[in-house]
Amino acid sequence: MKILIAYDGSSCADSALEDLRRAGLPRLAETAVLSVAELWMPVLESVGAGERRIVGALPVSLEKAESIAQRASERVQAYFPDWTVKAEARSGAPDSVLIERADEWRPDLIVVGSHGRSALGRFMLGSVSQKVVTEAHCSARVARGRGLDAQAPARLLIGVDGSPDAEAAITMVAARVWPADSKARVVIAIDDVVSEVIDQIEGGRAWIHGTIEAAGARLRAAGLTVSSQIRKGDPKSILPAEAASWRADCIFVGARGLNRFERFRLGSVSAATAARAHCSVEVVRPVCQ
């Protein structure tokens, strides 16, 4: 497995590193820790009436980014002694640099914190993580560490809709190694329009139950204790809310759902789920495309 980790030295980036210990990742992996130096960041001051002006610029050295990446890579290596870990630093806009590096290296998974910070110390409100979720060609994990013991049982919520990407999310969860007594909850969210359409299709309800039961069977075969929920409502609201009430450690969701004519639009809400959830979210693509 190839894993690209974005790291900027922020507390959220530190939490993302900690979260890796509870992600079920394989014993062997090739990993790159990437820090980005934004060469010039504007220094702004308020001039009244909601306006600001540029009064200078703050240079950020590539050497500092290299140092940050090296410290993070050493921490990852301590967590995963059998991994091959390297530190990298580049210059540019963090979101663009991360996507470009992923396109070059073609990792299986990109890991980002839920929020980062600019060279001026201002938080970027998840702009990097959102771009990675929506534009990366491989799976992406928006990691939010919760400070739990790495060997504590995991609670994993998987959104399904019958699409290939949702199937890939089930495959991803089933292939990983989870602590003993870990649990999975399979959730399918159905809004009012979907419910009406399904009622008009012969076997529609049976298809829903078959989809969720098949997912549960695969997860049980992987050693997880499985429950399921069929919820009525918008997946953008249902998945984060269910994760919060169930105290999930991570939501797994496909990057793309079935098309609008079939009305299961799970893929259209993956970015919203990553932004709204209070736990980690892994947006799964079948292969690095």
Residue 57 one-letter amino acid: A
CATH code for the domain of 19: 3.40.50.620
Which residue numbers in the chain have pLDDT < 50?
57, 117-125, 259-267
Neighbours of 46 (CB within 10 A): 9
Q: Is 132 found in the same domain as 213?
A: no
150 belongs to a structural domain: no
Report the b/e string of 224-234 with b at 16+ CB within 10 A. Answer: bebebeebeee
| Residue 231 CB partners (closer than 8 Å, separation 6+) | 187, 188, 189, 190, 238, 242
Q: What is the pLDDT of residue 125?
A: 38
* Predicted pLDDT of residue 221: 97
Q: What are the C-alpha distances in Å from 199 to residues 203, 206, 224, 233, 235?
A: 9, 10, 32, 16, 19
Burial class (CB in 10 A: 0-12, 13-18, 19+), 137: middle
Q: What is the pLDDT of residue 122?
A: 38
Rounded CA separation 210/216 (Å): 10
Same domain, 136 and 171: no
pLDDT at 120: 38
Query: Looking at the structure, do residues 162 and 250 belong to the same domain, yes or no?
Result: yes
As to burial, measured by CB atoms within 10 angstroms (0-12 exposed, 13-18 middle, 19+ buried), residue 160 is buried
Q: Identify the helix (H) or strand (E) that includes residue 166.
A: helix 164-175
- Residue given tokens 């934004």 in the structure block: 38
Which residue range is the domain that position 159 belongs to? 155-284
Structural domain count of the chain: 2
Q: Which pTM does this prediction carry?
A: 0.85
User: How many helices (DSSP H) and strands (DSSP E) are in the chain?
Assistant: 9, 12
On whether residue 148 sits in a domain, the answer given is: no
Question: Do 125 and 161 belong to one domain?
Answer: no
Same domain, 129 and 167: no
**AA letter at 210:** G
Q: Taking a C-beta distance cutoff of 8 angstroms, is the pair 231, 135 a contact?
A: no
289 inside domain: no
Asked if residue 263 and residue 134 are part of one domain, the reply reads no
